[in-house]
Amino acid sequence: MHINPTLPKKILAWYDNSKRDLPWRVGKKSPKKLYYRLLSEFMLQQTQVKTVIPYFINFTKKYKTLKALSKSNEKDILKMWEGLGYYRRARNLLACSKELVIKYKSKLPKTLLEIKKLPGVGEYTANALFGLIYNRPTIAVDGNVKRVFTRIINIDEAKINFNKFIEKNKKKLFTTSRNADFVEALMEFGALICKPKNPNCLTCCLKKTCKYFKSNKKIPGFKSKMIKNRNFDIFCYINKKKQIALTKKSQISFLKNFNLPEIKETNSFSKNKNWKFLKNYKNSISNLRLNINLYYKFSNKIPPTYNWYSLKENKEFVPSFTKKIFRQVSSLF
């Protein structure tokens, strides 16, 4: 499980010529470095670069510094995050910015252990920040990086302990003084060259030493996450003022704490006497494919934990899942 010692220099040379121009890549001495890196790392968890860019630009226009962000509130942050999904990230980002400003005087803690204790910062983000901000010899192991490593040694991902692999190869991985660039170059290389499908082997700078490229027995291709299908019934109270009743008391784990109509998981199409069927539609959340039956009822009375929301405009944050329900129900008027 050894890598070739020329790997860092080759990937860095490729990176210098081919890296994308991304708004969070500011100069090494920029005072915005920590804020931009923190914000982008939170946004990029589970989300693609092209989706993140406009959100990043809007955030940094509104909140120019980490301190400004830390003084915001959950309602405003969630509103700005609307459409980006995985809203727990937004709440954690706010909590993390507060802790950095108050406890660490707007600096990143000096040890990996302390960084990992920040809200919303796991193993991957901690390593990314430690390397990017302090130029420390570390690697942020995301899906891209795992793929590059598994391919260059041509060993199945399930058979590799990446922490041990990095430890074993540290003398070959950290041969330059450009640790911060290397953290990023590896991820970029995985995203643009050693892609999940159809890697660009013929033009790749590592092809001479890459075991995947040279082998007749290549490890299998990389599959996207397993898709899971689930069925839900959604029940909407609506009134003549074009309002819909929503509650945050949903029992569905991945929709907890969001404004939603009543929602129940089902095994099959169910008939509900007291509700009118409106339509069936699909909605995807990450690797979940939701098959939704939408029901409605005109009513002025709603259960105690519900509040009325306009189907047209809301100053308060409404997740895109609920907005889709708004669009369907609006067709009744």
CB of 209 to ligand SF4, least distance (A): 9
Query: What are the distances in angstroms from CA 53 to CA 24, 48, 56, 58?
Result: 9, 9, 5, 9
Which positions lie near ligand SF4, rule CB under 6 A? 148, 151-152, 193-194, 199-201, 204, 206-207, 210, 212-213
| Active-site residue, selected from the candidate residues 41, 184, 188, 262 | 41
- Give the C-alpha separation, 249 to 232, whole Å: 16
Q: Is 41 a catalytic residue?
A: yes
CB of 193 to ligand SF4, least distance (A): 5
Q: Which is nearer to ligand SF4, 104 or 213 (CB)?
A: 213
Instruction: Give strand pairing partners of 237.
Output: 297
Q: Which is nearer to ligand SF4, 155 or 302 (CB)?
A: 155
Residue 269 · residue 278 · CB < 8 Å: no
Q: Which is nearer to ligand SF4, 148 or 166 (CB)?
A: 148
Angle at 63 between CA 92 and CA 36, to 5 degrees: 65
Burial class of residue 235, CB neighbours in 10 A (0-12, 13-18, 19+):
middle
Q: DSSP string covering 23-80, please?
A: TT---TT-TTHHHHHHHHHHHHTTS-HHHHHHHHHHHHHH--SHHHHHTS-HHHHHHH
Q: Which is nearer to ligand SF4, 144 or 250 (CB)?
A: 144
CB of 237 to ligand SF4, least distance (A): 54
CB of 197 to ligand SF4, least distance (A): 12
Enzyme catalytic residues: 41
